Amino acid sequence: MWTVGDDAFLHSFFSTVAYQVETGGWGSRAPALTTDLYGGRLPFERVDAARAELAAVRRALEQLSPTARVFEYEAPNTPTPWPVPPGAATLADCFLTASGDNLLDILEEVLEAAREAGTDVEIRPFAGADTYSYYVTGDR
């Protein structure tokens, strides 16, 4: 189990990917990530596709400025409510989880673990005091 963060953070990450990388619309270039995984469940059969998509997403985000973050896909000019992390040189450096880890690194680790274990991957809400924190788990 890997902790990601709250709903707004997770939505901002996938909104950024969809808006900045998937210029043909949500799910056009990284459907295993932005449609299956963000939709809640990535079947084991799509893990390799998601790994390839994640590598391409990372390369694309590494070419963009941290100021290119998107809070909401539906309203891309809405500013994010949190500052750019110190030391963030590219957009790929801007999404740090609740534990301070880069979300791209966490997703890479999750997908590798799912591939090795032969499991599906799920994003599930974990009820907190005021908001939902999300975590990623490998389940079959």
Residue 140 confidence (pLDDT)? 46
Summarised one tens digit per residue, pLDDT across range 104-139 is: 999 999 999 999 999 999 887 766 645 444 445 555
Q: Where are the domains of the chain?
A: 2-139
Given a cut of 50, is residue 24 above it in pLDDT?
yes
Percentage of the residues of the chain whose pLDDT score is greater than 90: 67
Alpha carbon distance 25, 50 (integer Å): 17
Summarised one tens digit per residue, pLDDT across range 44-102 is: 999 999 999 999 999 999 999 999 999 999 999 999 988 899 999 999 999 998 788 99
CB neighbour list of residue 55: distance below 8 Å, 6 or more residues apart = none
Please report, to the nearest 10 degrees, the dihedral formed by the alpha carbons of residues 35, 96, 84, 68 taken in order.
-20
Residue 104 confidence (pLDDT)? 97
8 A C-beta contact, residue 97 and residue 135: no
Residue 20 confidence (pLDDT)? 96
